[in-house]
């Protein structure tokens, strides 16, 4: 039974496990997605999500706390500058784990862990707009009261055509 077992030790001693998770978190912040085993991805998710939450409020104290975990000033700078700007309005769930199958050498379960807001394939390349919650009997929507102007398509510019050469001319010049 796993009563009271809150941490997956990953068959490593404490110092090695903390260093490994710090290195994986720095790689995740730098590259936005990494491939690893499922167990390490789940442990990394628990390790990195509180750090991303801390990065949403850019204070000296939060930077020092995150640096104590990551021990890499470039990763801390990237986290507070780029990552925090993208996840500023998200209340949690900053990472996604996608299972990839088994590794060829030892048949270990592999997974890809990525930062959710940096994958344009799932987001469709655009940020989703939040729908405001309204009560019954609220104001009428502005879109219904004012008609949208008709959009006229822009004329297409044609590219100049290249002069065509026949295959006979190219074979004669090659001889």
Window from 63-77, 80-94, 161-175 with minimum mean pLDDT: 161-175
- Of 49, 46, 24, 26, the residue nearest 35 (C-alpha): 24
- Cα–Cα distance between 145 and 147 in angstroms, integer? 7
Does the pLDDT at position 124 exceed 70? no
37-86 pLDDT, tens digit each: 999 999 999 999 999 999 999 999 999 999 999 999 999 999 999 999 99
- Residue in the block written with tokens 């085993």: 37
Tokens of 27: 């790689």
Residue 159's pLDDT is 56
- Cα–Cα distance between 15 and 71 in angstroms, integer? 13
Q: How many residues does the chain have?
A: 175
pTM of the model: 0.70
């Amino acid at each position: 039974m796993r009563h009271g077992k809150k941490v997956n030790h990953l068959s490593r001693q404490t110092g090695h496990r903390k260093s490994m998770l710090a290195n994986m978190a720095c790689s995740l912040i730098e590259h936005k997605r990494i491939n690893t085993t499922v167990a390490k991805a789940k442990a990394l998710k628990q390790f990195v999500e509180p750090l991303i939450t801390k990065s949403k409020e850019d204070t000296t104290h939060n930077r020092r706390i995150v640096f104590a975990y990551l021990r890499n000033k470039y990763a801390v700078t990237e986290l507070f500058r780029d990552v925090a700007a993208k996840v500023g309005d998200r209340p949690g769930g900053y990472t996604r784990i996608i299972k990839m199958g088994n590794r060829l050498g030892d048949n270990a379960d592999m997974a890809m862990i990525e930062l959710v807001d940096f994958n344009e394939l799932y987001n469709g390349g655009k940020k989703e707009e939040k729908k405001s919650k309204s009560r019954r009997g609220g104001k009428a929507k502005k879109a219904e009261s004012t008609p949208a102007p008709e959009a006229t398509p822009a004329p297409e510019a044609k590219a100049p055509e290249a002069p065509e050469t026949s295959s006979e001319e190219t074979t004669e010049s090659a001889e």
